[in-house]
Every structure is written in C-alpha cells, then in structure tokens.
Amino acid sequence: MISLDLEIKLLTLENLSAILELDRACFGGLWTLDGYKRELDSPNSDLLGLFSPSSTSLLGMGCFWSILDEAHITILAVHPQYHRQGMGQALLYSLIKTACDRKMERATLEVRASNLAAISLYQKFGFKTAGRRRRYYQDNDEDALILWLPDLQHRKFKATLDQWYSIVSDRLEKSSWHLLFK
C-alpha cells in the first residue's frame, strides 16, 4: 500500500486564497479576508495548515489564540472531501502540541451542541464540558458547549501527547496517510 505524506505547518499570507477557499467549503464563509489577515498578522494567533505534496490545495486548518496561559481554539476544519480519514485528529493534536510548546497551561473551545462528531473528537483528546453558551451561533441561535483541556504543562502530559501521536499516526495510516512534522 502506498502512503501519502501530510505536512502541518504555519500558514502565511501566501496561503490566504487557499484559506478562504477552505473556509467557504467547510463553513460557507465564516471568516472574512480581513479576519484571516488579522489572524496571520497577530503574534497571539497560531494558524496551522494541513498539506499534502500530492495536492495543491489546503486540506485542513486549525487556529488558536494565546490568551494569557490559555489556548483558545477558534477553528478546526478539514475539507469535506477528506473527512473521516484522521485529519481532524492530526490537526487537533498539532494545535495542542503547539500550545504546549508555547507554554500554554490549558486549552478551551466552543462547539455546536449538535456537532456530535466534533464533540466526540474533542472528548477523545481529553476535553471536558465546562458549560454552555446559550444561543451562541448567530446563524441559527444554536447553543455552544464550552470544552476545556487542563494541565498542558503537567509533567505527565508529555506521555499523553506521545500516546496521542501514536493514535493519530495509526488512524492516518489506515487511510494511507503519513504525517510529517516540520
């Protein structure tokens, strides 16, 4: 079986058109061009992209804001054509690993209460529900669940990251992908 390489790297202004294209495919245009420019220019924002040398398009992206000692995950998106192949896991792992490397103590995010696939993914990575934001999503007034992952700098968390890397790698290999880190 041939394995295709995947690479996760920081996105830049050169990737802006691909970012907007992926945003439209996943969210119908959630963020604007100016919104993504601000993310790319901000020293408090990490916007990661998932690429394959065999494709010219951006396959997925994830973003978090560094707020004091918290990583607030704002975007996690995989192109619909690549769903259920482990790429969401790879991006989430990479966001958490980057947050750890930046000395963040915990991670948080909001997720649609109806998005069971995303909730399952986050729970698999240790996120726990901490609350609910009523009518958070403006497009349909849906509630958001607030999820938290604590103790990113705890000495035992390194072993957890290593376990997650194995889980992510195994899942990707089942779909003939191999993750490269830069």
Known active-site residue 39: no
Which amino acid, one-letter code, is at 109?
L
Cα dihedral value 10, 173, 111, 105, nearest 10: -60
* Spatial strand order in the sheet of 4-10: 128-133, 144-149, 106-112, 70-78, 60-67, 45-51, 4-10, 177-181
Distance in angstroms (rounded) separating the CA atoms of residues 124 and 102: 22
Of these residues, 70, 105, 110, 136, which one is catalytic?
110
DSSP-derived secondary structure for 55-89: -SS--EEEEEEEETTEEEEEEEEE-GGGTTSSHHH
Known active-site residue 21: no
Of these residues, 36, 82, 93, 122, which one is catalytic?
122
Residues that are catalytic: 110, 122
